[in-house]
Chains A and B, each alone.
Chain A
Amino acid sequence: MHALPVDGPADDPWSKMMKAAMAGDEGVYRRLLEDIGRSVRAMARAAFARARVGDADIEDAVQETLLAIHLKRHTWDANQKLGPWVNAIARHKIIDAMRRRGARRADPIEDFQDFLAAPQEEDPHDLSDAKRLIDALPPRQRDIVQSISLDGQSIAATATRLSMTEVAVRVALHRALKSLGVAWRRSVE
């Protein structure tokens, strides 16, 4: 009954990178997320422009997509290409983001492959959803997320500073990211 993968085996760069990431390669994962972020940014920009909603919050949509990709990466079937899976998640999150900003009916969103040639740089803004939601986390989780993201500290350095074990920091970070996902969704409803 199962449809055969029409795109052939998942040996494209993104799929390989995701496999390495899920095996624990932090550096590859970071590069993959940066790559995906660029593509999703272009996709969101095009979608926002077509729906005529302002582009002030594009980066929020990108960040929410990246977090969803992170939290739901076990729903990727490693025998399939990563691209279509990322597309599905990005489309879901971009439509959410546009509805929130008053777009009446979402126009069809083009797959991002069409934009790959023109990577877009992000425009940083400090009043982001992510910042606000992280500030609302329980204090310990907030400290850990801030230490690793904003201050660019390693897990080891964060553990030492907070007198925690590295495992405890990892666990707290993971919980924090999960609550961040939940909080983000709640902020949508």
Chain B
Amino acid sequence: MKTSELIAALAADPVPESVHLRRRFAAAVAVGLVGALALYLLFVGPRPDIAEAARTVRFNLKFVVALTLALPSLLLLFRLARPDAKPGALALWLFTPLILLALAVVVELVVVPSSEWLPRLIGHNMRYCTTMIPMMAAPILAALIVAMGAGAPQHPGWTGALAGAASAGLAAFLYASHCTDDSPLFVATWYPIATLVCVGVGALAGRRFLAW
């Protein structure tokens, strides 16, 4: 087949489907969050002493860390839908949650006696944390992958991994209100493990569904 013949077929189909990447992406975040929230309300729910907990720094830090992961991941992910995208300085913001967690761990190690370190790290909920965060992240990740399917990311695997990180950040934000383990030692251990699960699944999904 000659290229000019292919071009004839392409030119006969000149008006693209109306694909609005921004709208699709926003809808995916909304749909994913609704799914995650439904799972949260069905299976997880807020901890009973949430009002008291909300007055502590340790509890609130969990939400800040989750948001500093979710927001830059989402913004960067949306940018990467275009094939000519460059991550730019936005990618550096992904280090924020890591830096925050590292600082919080240092402070915790200073203010808490060493006999308390291991119990706080192990906490009460680690298995629940590492299963519920990926579970609540699943609908968000699925919706993000579907929306990104309309895009043309240069690196499907990495883009999927980033979608996994974004979904983990949002899921962790919800989960944090349930979890009674507030010590940065716990958060810096088990939340990242849950996040890595999502990142891994996202990378596989990206390679499978975002190649073009």
Contact = CB atoms under 8 A, between A and B. Distances in A.
Interface class of chain B by DSSP: loop
Interface residues of B, number: 36
B3 A177 contact: no
A85 B83 contact: yes
Contact of B19 (A21, A29, A33, A74): A74
A165 B119 CA distance: 72
B104 interface: no
A134 interface: yes
A75 B12 contact: no
Interface in B37-91: 75, 81-84, 86, 88-90
Contacts of B21: 74-75
Interface string A50-80: 0000000001001100111011111111001
Contact of A30 (B8, B17, B86): B8
Interface stretch (A8-16, A98-106, A148-156): A148-156
Interface residues on A, range: 35 or more
Contacts of B82: 75-77, 85
Contacts of A107: none
Contact of A126 (B1, B86, B150): B1
A70 B13 contact: yes
Interface of B: 1-21, 75, 81-84, 86, 88-90, 150-152, 154, 211-212
